[in-house]
Amino acid sequence: MWSVSMIKPFNSTKKLIAILSFALLFVTTNAFAQNNTSSTYSYFGLGELMQNSNGQTIGLGGTSLAYKGGSVLNLDNPASLSQIDSLKFHFNIGSVIKFTRLNQGNDHDVINDFNLSRIALGFKVSPRYATAFSIAPYSGLGYEITKREKVLGDETYVIRSLKGTGGLNQFMWSNGVKITNDLSLGVNGIYIFGNNTRTESVVIENGGTNVYINNSELISKGLYFNVAAQYAIDFGNYAITVGGKYQPKIGVNAKQKVVITNSNDLVERYSDEDDGDFDMPESYSVGFGLNKSKHLWIGGDYQYEKWSDTEIFNENNEFVDRNKFSFGVEYNPNDGYARKFLQRLSYRLGSFYDTGYIKVEDNKISSMGISAGLGIPMAQGKGMINLAVEFGTTGTLNNNLVREDFTRITIDVSLFERWFQKRKYN
């Protein structure tokens, strides 16, 4: 009996064309155009920071730095890519549905959002080196705020309306390499781009006459990076993995446009355009994971971002340092021979606490929540469907601020295309 290895890139080139075409469609129609949030707090800073992790780690409360696997494109820690299956081409797409209840005093409102969260593809280049490409939102603006204000020295009232749209997106090239059997290193090279648009208008109450309209845009495009590592130690049926990531403070090129007009006569009163940059914060993260016989995984992460040291167009901001904690547990009862459907699933639980990077009236706008997830394998090992649901809250009712109670559902699909196969002949 003898064997021969043959390379099988795809069943047909049509599959590759379809994947690349879909990626292009995502970039042109989704990443540039959509609002990723309806949060009131996206008014501040660069907007609401998006989560763009994969479906597995979201079910674990976002715990990701020590998480790895042959079928996992974990771009939060690119070092983990060195562990992906070398025989498969990995294609991953995620979407998010978010239901939010806004609470302020005795007032309540409900908003819903639906967005694609990321698209990624990756593969092994050599036995020790893997690469991946992805695109995902980094931040989003989607607020609409209306205030009734009295004019000083007059009995007249005006209605002030604030609206924000757009956001920043990131295209990422991730690389992971296995240095030894225990140590892997990784790097993410990131191109960030997008447009934050803010509009402020003031209208005289009842009269409907605009006092002025202020339109401002922050147009961004630039490069930054982060580096990461994973180190694993085996103890028989147990294995401990430690992961870490570091990102230096880097300025990103930006252009700021401001136009103020008087809508009564449509005469432009002020226009300005300024080139500058804003800082991506220095950050570091560390996490651990404990495996038991490949059935049970327990892990936790800590992330720190130094937003207080950043500037926007050479001006200090009022951002605060961000601290995020997460913890997750995964149980996989499948021993490789499971036939019952429930025994082939992966079960996940997690929790998180995020202090946020903004402060409003001396209140940090923090988030906290719990999560649960399921991993559902497709027939014949063609892929995995990962479902995750998060229940959480953002903000506070103190000082008449808004508390956002949310339910976030993530649907993440990973498809595997076999590139190499071993055929045996008698």
Domains of the chain: 2-425 (2.40.160.60)
Distance in angstroms (rounded) separating the CA atoms of residues 133 and 121: 6
For 175-203, the pLDDT digits (tens) are 999 999 999 999 999 999 999 999 988 88
Structure tokens at 354: 């995020």
Radius of gyration for the chain, computed over Cα atoms and rounded to the nearest angstrom: 24
Flag whether pLDDT at 1 surpasses 50. no
Buried b (16+ CB within 10 A) or exposed e, 180-195: eeeebbbbbebebbbb
For 295-350, the pLDDT digits (tens) are 999 999 999 999 999 988 877 778 999 999 999 999 998 876 767 878 889 999 99
Distance in angstroms (rounded) separating the CA atoms of residues 302 and 200: 38
Q: Are strands 183-204 and 129-140 parallel, antiparallel or unpaired?
A: unpaired
Distance in angstroms (rounded) separating the CA atoms of residues 307 and 237: 41
Residue with tokens 């092994």: 124
Which amino acid, 113? D
Structure tokens at 397: 């009712």
Distance in angstroms (rounded) separating the CA atoms of residues 182 and 177: 11
- How far separated are the first and last CA of the chain, in Å rounded? 5
Question: What helix, strand, coil percent values describe the chain, rounded to 5?
Answer: 10, 60, 25
**pTM attached to this predicted model:** 0.87
What sign for the dihedral angle of Cα 39, 46, 165, 410?
negative
For the chain, give the percent of residues with pLDDT over 90: 57
